[in-house]
Every structure is written in structure tokens, then in C-alpha cells.
């Protein structure tokens, strides 16, 4: 074994466990870059597609599941957020792929089935040859009961696929959930290999500077990141978005902060909650004025239940979709909004902000913000996604005391962009040979290089 072979053997890369599929067997409705990604994911066997909003994750996961069913003769299950199951079924019809929405084991049929995460406990997952996690960022919550159940019950599933636009919004450690679910490395193994923690707080882990390249090369061995088709060498002519216009409305705080003679910026969690509560009426009034003075559809995001109730009372005809509503009621409200039967829909990002396509709407407002960049990013891109034909106006309404929250979200946005840049770079560099990306023509020297005498060695 020479030194180069030794180095290759020492690389920590996920090993493929899938099967090859000819391009002409893939769904004919898929774009070229989608077919390349699906083919790669099938060859991996257990893979993740971190693809930005509107790039066609639904078609890719449906085609992947369809190919797994054909190859194994078994069945596939797609797990999705609430109301996304019905949308997935509708997308399947467009692409000629049969999908059955299931709420109980009795609903299961041979082929592709889709259900919601909250119904996970009802099904025997061991019967499926392939499982897809739609909006798989659910795996980032280390202490989540759902994450633990998914990892354990699907540990021996032959084919697994994770799909999300936000795999790790602002913390690289969160990628460990995907790696463990896919059977690449456990969370603890990943941390021990690529990270270190400060001696005072073992819950704070930092990527080792000297391991940075190796870490992203490792991630790129089981995941693909796609922001636009151009990231993989394909044309993005059909993926040009209209402008996104952000508008910040800052509401004055008339009440002095407790313990002060005037309002000061909220820093602690308790202070931020107090600031939101004290400014609730003023923020709701701004959002109501915007929605009531327009005939357009509006999607309004709130963070607190009283905000949603106040907005529904201030905007005639608006429907507030709440977490306490039944699953059918939520799904129907979202369907009515997509169909244009509902002009103004109010909800929390945690309720309606994941997985749905609302390109029918180009006016939205955030009346309350939490510190979660993922929630805001997901909610924003329900409307601002590929397929949107109008400029999108997004109004962020905050109290003047909430500057800390806004800065925190912007910091996480920058970290998310950095992560995407690094992963895209390593996917493009390391996987040209796999067929995932288009290969450029290698440089072919046509003239012999002559070295000057002073550069030549005595031996030469």
C-alpha cells in the first residue's frame, strides 16, 4: 500500500448502499438537476437532500420513493408535517405518481403512502422498504421524542431519505441528527471526530478549525446542498425569483421598562416576552391597517396566541389557524387559502410555516418574532419560493425594544449562509465524478513549458 492509498483508506466518508437507476427510468417531469440528485440519492441508499424552497423536493422524494418501490417490490412511507400530506398527494397526481394519504394502518396500500409526523405512533414502520422524512429538520432537536423514535424504529430500514431546506439553521452540531438517522455516524461519534467543546460548558461544541475541510467533505458524502440548479452546474434560467421587499415597522414603546424611567432594549428572555406583550396592540394595529387597506391575499404570522386572536378581530374575514384546531380544520383552512377562498390567513410558523406552498400570496407580515431563524426563514419562504411570479412584500413589525431579537435572527441568517456556501463547494468539488454534477472539460496543455536555467536543479 502506497501513501496515497493509505490516505484514501483513512478518509471518513459514508459508504453507498443503494442501487443504480438509468436516467430514462426516472420521472420524465423532473428537470435535469432533479434527475441527477434522485439518481445519486438512490445510489447512496441513505441520503439527504438539502434543497432550497421551490427547487422541487416533493418531486424528488416522490420519484425516489417510486424507484425504491419498483426496485424492492416493497412499500414506501413519506412522513410530513400537518397538511403537507394532502399537498404531496396532489403533487403526485401532477407527476403521474400514485400516493395514498393515511391516518391509520388500515389506510395503507401497496406503493407510496404519506402520513403526518403526529400519527407516527400508529404505524409499524418496519414494514416499509423506504422511508422519506419531509422537512427533516425535525431531527435537529436532540431531546425530541420524535427524533429518538425515528432513529430507533427506522434503524434497519434499507432505504432512507431526508429532505429539508433548513438542515441546521445556525449550529453545525444539528447536522448530527441527520447523520445518526441515516446511520452514517452517531451524534457522539460526529462530535468526537470533528468538534471540541470549551471546558466549562460541555453543551457548547465548536468545529475544529483544522477539521473544517474534512467535516464538510464528510457531510457531502451523504448529503447534497442545492440553492439553485447553478450550484450543480445546471441552468437556473427557470429559477429566477422576483424581488423580495423587506419592510421593517418599528413600534414606539410608550411604557417604561420595569425598573427604568423609560423604555430600554429587552435583553433577557423575560424582558423580550414583556416587550412583546406591552406592544401587542400597537403591532396588531399596524398589521390590520396593512391588510385592511389592500384587496390582496395576506399571510400574517404571529408568535403569541393573543396576537392571533387580536388580529382575527381586527381584520374582517380573516381566519386564525391555531395549534388547538383539529387536523382537518387546519388542512381545510390552508387549502382554502391556496384556492383563493380565504383572503387573510393568520397563524404561527410552528403551525403553518413548514412544507406548504403559498405562492398564490405575495403579501405577508410578521407581527411577532421569536429567536428562531428557522421558523422565520421557513415561514417567509412559504410565499417567496420558486414559482412565485410577483414581487413579495414582507412586513416585519417589532417594538423598538426588540432590537436584540432582530440582530439575533440576522446573525443566524449569516451563519446559515456560511454553512450553505461551504457544503455547496464540497458537493461541487467532490462529486463531479459521481454524475451528480456536470463535469467541466479538463485543461489540456498544448505547449511544452520550458523552465529558465535558474529554476533547474543540478540533477536536471
Are both 225 and 245 inside the same structural domain? no
Domain that holds residue 305: 241-412
Which of 251, 313, 298 lies closest to 277 in space, CA to CA? 251
Q: Which residues contact 14 (CB under 8 A, 6 or more apart)?
A: 44, 46, 182, 184, 218, 221, 222
**What is the predicted pLDDT for the residue at 442?**
47
Contacts made by residues 147-151, CB under 8 angstroms, sequence distance 24+: 147/177, 147/181, 149/120, 149/121, 150/79, 150/120, 150/181, 151/180, 151/181
pLDDT of residue 194: 92
Nearest-angstrom CA–CA distance, 314 and 309? 9
C-alpha cell, 230: 447553478
CATH number for the domain harbouring residue 102: 3.40.50.300
Shared-domain flag, residues 80 and 172: yes
pLDDT at position 199, please? 64
**In the block, residue with C-alpha cell 428557522:** 374
The answer to whether position 335 is within a domain reads yes
Beta carbons within 8 Å of 46's beta carbon, 6+ residues apart: 14, 17, 18, 159, 160, 161, 182, 183, 184, 222
Distance CA 228, CA 235 (A): 9
Nearest to 149 by CA among 79, 49, 205, 76: 79
Quote the number of domains for the chain. 2
Domain termination site, one of 238, 259, 275: 238
Q: What is the pLDDT, as a whole number, of residue 403?
A: 64
In the three-class reduction of DSSP (H, G, I as helix; E, B as strand; rest coil), residue 449 is classed as: coil
Looking at the structure, tell me whether residues 167 and 257 fall in a common domain: no
**CB-based burial, 354-370: b 16+ in 10 Å, e otherwise:** bbbbbbbbbbbbbbbbb
Let me know if residue 362 belongs to a domain.
Answer: yes
Q: What is the pLDDT of residue 446?
A: 63
In angstroms, the CA 336 to CA 19 distance is: 41
Residues 89 and 162 in one domain: yes
The whole-angstrom distance between residue 44's C-alpha and the CA centroid of its chain comes to 20
E-strand stretches of 232-287:
244-251
Question: pLDDT by residue for the chain (460 residues), tens digit each?
Answer: 554 554 444 455 556 789 999 999 999 999 999 999 999 999 999 999 999 888 999 999 999 999 999 999 999 999 998 778 888 999 999 999 999 999 999 999 999 999 999 899 999 999 999 999 999 988 887 768 889 999 999 999 999 999 998 887 667 888 899 999 999 999 889 999 999 887 665 567 888 888 888 888 898 889 998 888 988 888 888 888 899 999 989 887 665 555 443 444 545 656 666 677 778 899 999 999 999 999 999 999 998 899 999 999 999 999 999 988 988 899 899 999 999 999 999 999 989 988 888 999 999 999 977 778 888 888 999 999 888 999 999 999 988 777 667 777 788 888 878 878 887 887 766 554 455 544 334 445 666 667 677 766 655 4
DSSP secondary structure letters along 206-230: EE-GGGHHHHHHHHTTTEEEESSGG
List Cβ neighbours of 241 (8 Å cut-off, separation of 6 or more). Answer: 384, 385, 386, 388
- Burial degree of 104 (CB within 10 A; 0-12, 13-18, 19+): exposed
Helix spans in 49-110 (H): 57-72, 84-94
Contact (Cβ atoms closer than 8 angstroms) between residue 159 and residue 106 = no
Say if 430 falls within a structural domain. Answer: no
Number of Cβ within 10 Å of residue 346's Cβ equals 28
Residues 170, 247: one domain? Answer: no
What is the predicted pLDDT for the residue at 449? 64
Structural domain contains residue 90:
yes
Q: Are residues 391 and 296 in the same domain?
A: yes
Q: End of a domain among 204, 238, 272?
A: 238
Which residue bears the cell 413548514?
A: 354
Q: Are residues 184 and 246 in the same domain?
A: no
* 81 and 171 together in one domain: yes
- Alpha-carbon distance of 159 to 47, in angstroms, equals 9
| 192 located within any domain | yes
> Does any domain span residue 197?
yes
Residues 253 and 234 occupy one common structural domain:
no
Beta bridge partners of 49: 163, 224
Q: Looking at the structure, tell me whether residues 268 and 207 fall in a common domain.
A: no
Among 370, 397, 412, which residue terminates a domain?
A: 412
Is 433 among the domain residues?
no
Same domain, 51 and 176: yes
CA distance 296 to 361: 8
Cell of 79: 412522513
Q: 2 lies in a domain? A: no
Based on the domain organization, do 377 and 357 belong to the same domain? yes
Residue showing cell 421557513: 378
Amino acid at each position: 500500500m502506497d501513501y496515497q492509498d493509505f490516505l484514501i483508506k483513512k478518509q471518513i466518508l459514508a459508504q453507498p448502499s443503494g442501487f443504480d437507476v438509468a436516467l430514462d427510468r426516472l420521472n420524465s417531469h423532473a428537470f435535469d438537476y432533479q434527475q441527477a440528485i434522485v439518481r445519486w440519492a438512490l445510489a447512496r441508499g441513505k441520503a439527504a437532500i438539502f434543497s432550497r424552497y421551490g427547487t422541487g423536493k416533493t418531486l424528488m422524494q416522490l420519484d425516489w420513493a417510486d424507484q425504491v418501490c419498483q426496485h424492492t417490490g416493497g412499500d414506501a412511507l413519506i412522513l410530513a408535517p400537518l397538511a403537507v400530506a394532502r399537498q404531496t398527494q396532489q403533487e403526485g397526481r401532477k407527476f403521474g405518481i400514485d400516493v395514498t394519504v393515511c391516518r391509520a394502518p388500515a389506510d395503507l396500500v401497496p406503493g407510496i403512502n404519506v402520513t403526518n409526523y403526529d400519527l407516527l405512533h400508529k404505524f409499524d414502520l418496519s414494514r416499509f422498504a423506504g422511508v422519506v422524512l419531509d422537512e427533516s429538520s425535525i431531527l435537529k432537536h436532540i431531546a425530541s421524542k420524535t427524533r429518538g423514535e425515528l432513529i430507533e424504529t427506522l434503524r434497519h430500514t434499507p432505504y432512507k431519505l431526508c429532505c429539508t431546506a433548513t438542515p441546521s439553521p445556525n449550529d453545525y452540531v444539528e447536522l448530527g441528527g441527520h447523520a445518526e438517522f441515516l446511520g452514517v455516524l452517531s451524534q457522539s461519534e460526529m462530535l468526537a471526530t470533528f468538534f471540541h467543546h470549551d471546558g466549562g460548558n460541555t453543551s457548547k461544541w465548536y468545529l475544529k478549525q483544522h477539521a473544517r475541510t474534512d467535516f464538510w467533505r464528510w457531510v457531502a458524502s451523504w448529503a447534497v446542498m442545492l440553492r439553485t440548479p447553478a450550484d450543480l452546474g445546471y441552468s437556473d434560467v427557470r429559477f429566477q425569483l422576483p424581488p423580495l421587499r423587506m419592510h421593517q415597522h418599528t413600534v414606539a414603546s410608550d411604557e417604561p421598562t420595569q425598573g427604568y424611567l423609560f423604555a430600554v432594549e429587552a435583553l433577557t428572555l423575560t424582558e423580550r416576552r414583556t416587550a412583546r406583550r406591552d406592544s401587542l396592540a400597537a403591532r396588531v394595529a399596524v398589521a390590520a391597517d396593512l391588510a385592511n387597506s389592500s384587496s390582496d391575499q395576506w399571510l400574517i404570522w404571529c408568535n403569541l396566541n393573543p396576537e392571533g386572536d387580536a388580529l382575527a378581530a381586527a381584520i374582517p374575514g380573516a381566519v386564525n389557524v391555531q395549534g388547538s384546531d383539529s387536523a382537518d380544520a387546519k388542512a381545510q383552512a390552508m387549502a382554502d387559502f391556496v384556492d383563493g377562498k380565504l383572503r387573510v390567513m393568520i397563524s404561527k410558523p410552528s403551525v403553518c410555516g413548514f412544507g406548504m406552498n403559498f405562492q398564490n400570496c405575495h403579501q405577508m407580515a410578521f407581527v411577532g418574532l421569536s429567536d428562531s431563524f428557522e421558523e422565520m426563514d421557513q415561514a417567509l419562504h412559504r410565499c417567496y419560493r420558486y414559482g412565485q411570479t410577483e414581487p413579495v412584500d414582507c412586513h416585519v413589525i417589532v417594538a423598538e425594544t426588540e432590537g436584540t431579537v432582530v440582530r439575533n435572527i440576522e446573525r443566524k441568517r449569516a451563519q446559515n449562509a456560511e454553512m450553505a456556501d461551504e457544503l455547496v463547494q464540497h458537493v461541487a468539488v467532490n462529486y463531479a465524478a459521481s454524475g451528480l454534477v456536470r463535469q467541466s472539460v479538463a485543461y489540456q496543455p498544448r505547449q511544452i513549458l520550458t523552465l529558465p536555467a535558474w529554476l533547474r536543479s543540478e540533477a536536471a
